[in-house]
A and B are shown apart, each in its own frame.
Chain A
Amino acid sequence: MVKVLYEMNKGERGKILAIRGGRGRVLRLAELGIIPGEEITLLQKSFGPVIIKVKDTNLALGRGIAQNILVEVENGENKD
């Protein structure tokens, strides 16, 4: 199932499908490991930003960014 990162549930995993945004923003995120094809886990949601795990790093992303990342979520409630 495809979801916007911001709407993923805590603990859900998936693969990044696409990132919307200007060239600079997209490249900046790529340098932090947020790049299409990469595996991503949503670790924590607050009432604005989210915490994700990508390439062994925990990153906090503001809501504006989390709303622009599309993720193909693993549909495995039975997993883990």
Chain B
Amino acid sequence: MEKIKIRVALSGNPNVGKSTIFNLLTGLRQHTGNWPGKTIEKKEGIYEKDNYILEIIDLPGIYSLTSHSLEEIIAREFIIKEKPDVIVVIVDASSLERNLYLLIQILELYSRVILVLNMIDLLHEKKYKIDIEKLEKKLGIPVVPMIASKGIGIGELVDKIIKVYKGELICKPEKIDYGNLEYIIENIEEKIPKNIDGYNSRFIALKLLEGDDIVKNICKERINYEEIEKIIGKREDTAISLANARYQWIKKILMDTLEKPKTPVITLSDKLDYIFTHPILGLPLSFIILGLVFWLTYTINNLLSDPLENILGIFQKFLEKYLLFLPSFWRALIFNGIWQGISILLTFIPLIIIFFFFLAILEDTGYLARVAFVTDRIMHILGLHGKAFLPLMISYGCNVPGIMAVRTLENEKDRILLILISSFIPCVPRILVSAFFANVFFPKYASLILLSLYFISFLSVFISGKIIRKFFLKTSFSPLIMELPLYKLPNFKIVGIYIWEKLKAFLQRAGSVIVILSSIVWLLGNYPQKNIENSLLAYIGKLFLPLLKPLGFNWQLISALIAGFVAKEASLSTISTIYQSSGENLRNILLKEISPLTAYSFMVIQLLYIPCAGTSATIYKETNSLKWTIFSIIYSLTFAYFISFILYIIISLFKTLL
């Protein structure tokens, strides 16, 4: 028998447990992508019961259906264009009043809606009482209480979705009365068709009164907008009046369905917040907790990297045996070019698993929002806000997970800015290369030199933030407005699914880019002759020599930088290959060939010049835009060049003066 498909959309505010419900329903039968042309994640999955297949789509978390953010526009357009069979609106039961605001707007657009009261246990913890039957009657739609983190209520939700689809449960949502604004709404409705582009006339009228630009433009194309403009007039406050009317309506609904205790109960969350958001204790505590996460992430990763490399080595030997029949150039390409790229890709796997395990826990428990609160002040120095703290911090280990963590920010332009400046944060491999040079050229002051590099990178983050904001994004970082969800225990099954999804998306979308880029760089070093001195790499190095000659560079250093694009530590091994020496010998050669000042310029360039292949691929995956990926590469190249040039001149001047 043919199975019946039901298309279900999940909607709700951020932090209401929407993705938990999505993950519980779909498990591993889900797919993550991006909304067309957007940096916003799109998640789809399926759930089967009896004769039905539920095709579930997780709409972005939103507070409203206006056109403030891309997320809201996506959700709105999905509802009217795709017309799902059922929309499930998920709300945080412990803060119903605010959460029902979104429900109202969805009901104005669509009627087959089921309301899920998630985290009903937190409502009980607050000693609130809710009459669900009465709420159903007053809203005119089915209501399902749920504790998603424990899987309670999922079955009932599925039953009700099927019943609504079959028409056994009827949704007849109550129409909201906007009081003295009703007559203006009706006036506008008379002037427009019953339906424009799938939006009903009432919704259009409301959005016009709220000053929604997208709806306004749709209207201007279709009808005589001037007449409507006359009706709306110069009212500045209608949007707020509408919001007020909605809240009044919600109050009326909740008046005899939700009972609150006379004196508010002090919950566990309140007590925890006393410590975690404390003006003096909060910040050091967050440093300790995040420092621990940082340390654990990279320590566990390092413990795993040796065994992983051994396994890869065994596998490589095994493969080599079976590919002996190939000509030697192809064998070399496969094992030194492609295979090396695959190894680099694979070494990211433990890092991503471990980091996202901690990130999921920080997010799920609600602590991450507190980190954003306590670090907000210091992030202001960089022109950012508190939510930027964790991504930047984790970038000091490796930029790849740092950039992936940028997803926790809401605003698209904020995310792009943060991604672009993250690549100026020196990851561990870059510091290792610098440390080698510092030890060779400034053995007495090595740590001071490294410290100066950290300072330069910090300054670069600061300056580039300003430049990119002012000239390229043309916007300031949005101020912090963030909900602090109640603390709760994470569900480890959900955490597992979350990690798996992140890893899968990384391998699928960044994987091929990393492998291709590193193969190209290998080819450069080995073509047309295996001898690196006659290779394309050397040729390109010599080509760019005039640009860097004033800083005392030779082509060998430039070729090393090009090779460093695969992975920053590769620049060191390339230098060693070019000079065909290592250890003490290499030291002596370098000291003879390069002046200390040139070495320092090299370190500065090496610190800033380009996001490595893995980072570039991640930037591409996260921004979903080739334009921003190329921008990041070109910008950082130019920036690094100018900074090192300026530093070179300043230091030279000092030397002649002294």
Interface set of A (CB-CB < 8 Å, partner B): 23-24, 26-33, 35-38, 43-49, 51, 54-65
Expressed in whole angstroms, the Cα–Cα distance for A33 and B63 within the complex equals: 10
Give the shortest distance, in Å, between A50 (CB) and chain B (any CB): 9
Give the A-B pair count, Cβ closer than 8 A: 112
- Residues B239 and A61 in contact, CB atoms below 8 Å apart: no
- Residues B480 and A57 in contact, CB atoms below 8 Å apart: no
Q: Which residues of B contact A43 (CB under 8 A)?
A: 273
Of B96-104, B107-115, B138-146, B216-224, the one contacting chain A is B96-104
- Residues B243 and A48 in contact, CB atoms below 8 Å apart: no
Name the residue on A nearest B480 (C-beta): A62
A23-B239, A30-B243, A35-B240 known; A60-B95 Cβ under 8 A: no
Q: Which residues of A contact B376 (CB under 8 A)?
A: 46, 48-49, 60, 62
Q: Which residues of B contact A60 (CB under 8 A)?
A: 369, 372-373, 376, 386, 480-484
Q: Which residues of B contact A36 (CB under 8 A)?
A: 240
Expressed in whole angstroms, the Cα–Cα distance for A54 and B96 within the complex equals: 12
Per-residue contact bits, chain B 444-483, to A (CB 8 Å; 1 contact, 0 not): 0000000000000000000000000000000000011111
Name the residue on B nearest A52 (C-beta): B484
Q: Which residues of B contact A44 (CB under 8 A)?
A: 273, 277-279, 373
Name the residue on A nearest B386 (C-beta): A49
- Residues A23 and B380 in contact, CB atoms below 8 Å apart: no
Interface residues of B in 207-229 (CB under 8 A from A): 210-211
Interface centre among A23, A51, A55, A64 (most CB of B within 10 A): A55
Interface centre among B97, B101, B377, B481 (most CB of A within 10 A): B481
Q: Which residues of B contact A29 (CB under 8 A)?
A: 481
Expressed in whole angstroms, the Cα–Cα distance for A62 and B375 within the complex equals: 11
- Residues B373 and A51 in contact, CB atoms below 8 Å apart: yes
- Residues B211 and A23 in contact, CB atoms below 8 Å apart: yes
Q: Does B282 contact A (CB under 8 A)?
A: yes
Q: Which residues of A contact B386 (CB under 8 A)?
A: 49, 60
Give the shortest distance, in Å, between A38 (CB) and chain B (any CB): 8
Expressed in whole angstroms, the Cα–Cα distance for A57 and B377 within the complex equals: 22
Name the residue on B nearest A33 (C-beta): B98
Q: Which residues of A contact B385 (CB under 8 A)?
A: 62
Closest 10 CB pairs of A and B: A48-B377, A62-B480, A62-B479, A56-B95, A30-B243, A58-B484, A31-B64, A57-B95, A55-B98, A33-B98
Q: Which residues of A contact B483 (CB under 8 A)?
A: 32, 57-60
Q: Which residues of A contact B247 (CB under 8 A)?
A: 33, 35, 38
Interface residues of B in 472-518 (CB under 8 A from A): 479-484
Q: Which residues of B contact A54 (CB under 8 A)?
A: 98
A37-B244, A44-B279 known; A65-B479 Cβ under 8 A: yes
A27-B66, A33-B98, A57-B95 known; A65-B481 Cβ under 8 A: yes
- Known A27-B239, A55-B98, A58-B273; 6 more pairs at CB < 8 Å: A23-B239, A26-B239, A27-B66, A47-B279, A47-B377, A49-B480
A23-B211, A48-B380, A62-B376 known; A55-B482 Cβ under 8 A: no
Interface residues of B in 264-306 (CB under 8 A from A): 273, 277-279, 282
Give the shortest distance, in Å, between B12 (CB) and chain A (any CB): 14
Q: Which residues of B contact A46 (CB under 8 A)?
A: 277, 279, 282, 373-374, 376-377
A43-B273, A51-B484 known; A56-B377 Cβ under 8 A: no
- Interface range, B side: 35 or more
- Residues A27 and B97 in contact, CB atoms below 8 Å apart: no
Q: Which residues of B contact A64 (CB under 8 A)?
A: 479
Give the shortest distance, in Å, between B642 (CB) and chain A (any CB): 32
Q: Is the interface of B mostly helix, strand, loop or mixed?
A: helix
Q: Which residues of A contact B372 (CB under 8 A)?
A: 60
Give the shortest distance, in Å, between A37 (CB) and chain B (any CB): 7
- Residues B98 and A32 in contact, CB atoms below 8 Å apart: yes
Q: Which residues of A contact B68 (CB under 8 A)?
A: 24, 27-28
Expressed in whole angstroms, the Cα–Cα distance for A23 and B234 within the complex equals: 13
Expressed in whole angstroms, the Cα–Cα distance for A47 and B211 within the complex equals: 35
Q: Which residues of A contact B629 (CB under 8 A)?
A: none
Q: Does B19 contact A (CB under 8 A)?
A: no
- Residues B481 and A31 in contact, CB atoms below 8 Å apart: no
Q: Which residues of A contact B279 (CB under 8 A)?
A: 44-47
A23-B236, A46-B376, A55-B95 known; A31-B480 Cβ under 8 A: no
Q: Does B519 contact A (CB under 8 A)?
A: no
Q: Which residues of B contact A49 (CB under 8 A)?
A: 373, 376-377, 386, 480
Give the shortest distance, in Å, between A31 (CB) and chain B (any CB): 4
Q: Does B94 contact A (CB under 8 A)?
A: yes
- Residues A31 and B482 in contact, CB atoms below 8 Å apart: no
Expressed in whole angstroms, the Cα–Cα distance for A64 and B480 within the complex equals: 9
Expressed in whole angstroms, the Cα–Cα distance for A37 and B101 within the complex equals: 17
Q: Which residues of B contact A30 (CB under 8 A)?
A: 239-240, 243-244
Name the residue on B nearest A24 (C-beta): B68
Name the residue on A nearest B105 (C-beta): A31
- Residues B484 and A59 in contact, CB atoms below 8 Å apart: yes
Q: What are 13 sample pairs from A and B whose C-beta atoms fall under 8 A apart? A: A31-B101, A32-B481, A37-B244, A44-B373, A46-B277, A46-B282, A48-B377, A49-B386, A55-B97, A55-B98, A59-B483, A60-B481, A61-B481
Q: Which residues of A contact B243 (CB under 8 A)?
A: 27, 30-31, 35
Per-residue contact bits, chain B 618-642, to A (CB 8 Å; 1 contact, 0 not): 0000000000000000000000000
Q: Which residues of A contact B66 (CB under 8 A)?
A: 27, 31
Name the residue on A nearest B128 (C-beta): A56
Expressed in whole angstroms, the Cα–Cα distance for A46 and B377 within the complex equals: 8
Give the shortest distance, in Å, between A47 (CB) and chain B (any CB): 5
Name the residue on A nearest B377 (C-beta): A48
Expressed in whole angstroms, the Cα–Cα distance for A28 and B350 within the complex equals: 40
Q: Which residues of A contact B239 (CB under 8 A)?
A: 23, 26-27, 30
Expressed in whole angstroms, the Cα–Cα distance for A57 and B95 within the complex equals: 6
A23-B239, A26-B240, A46-B282 known; A59-B482 Cβ under 8 A: yes
Expressed in whole angstroms, the Cα–Cα distance for A46 and B273 within the complex equals: 12
Interface centre among B239, B278, B369 (most CB of A within 10 A): B239
- Residues B98 and A56 in contact, CB atoms below 8 Å apart: yes
Expressed in whole angstroms, the Cα–Cα distance for A27 and B483 within the complex equals: 16
Interface residues of B in 103-149 (CB under 8 A from A): none
- Residues B240 and A33 in contact, CB atoms below 8 Å apart: no
A45-B279, A48-B377, A49-B377 known; A31-B236 Cβ under 8 A: no
Partner of A56, one of B96, B277, B380: B96
Name the residue on A nearest B476 (C-beta): A64
Partner of A61, one of B101, B374, B480: B480
Expressed in whole angstroms, the Cα–Cα distance for A60 and B480 within the complex equals: 7
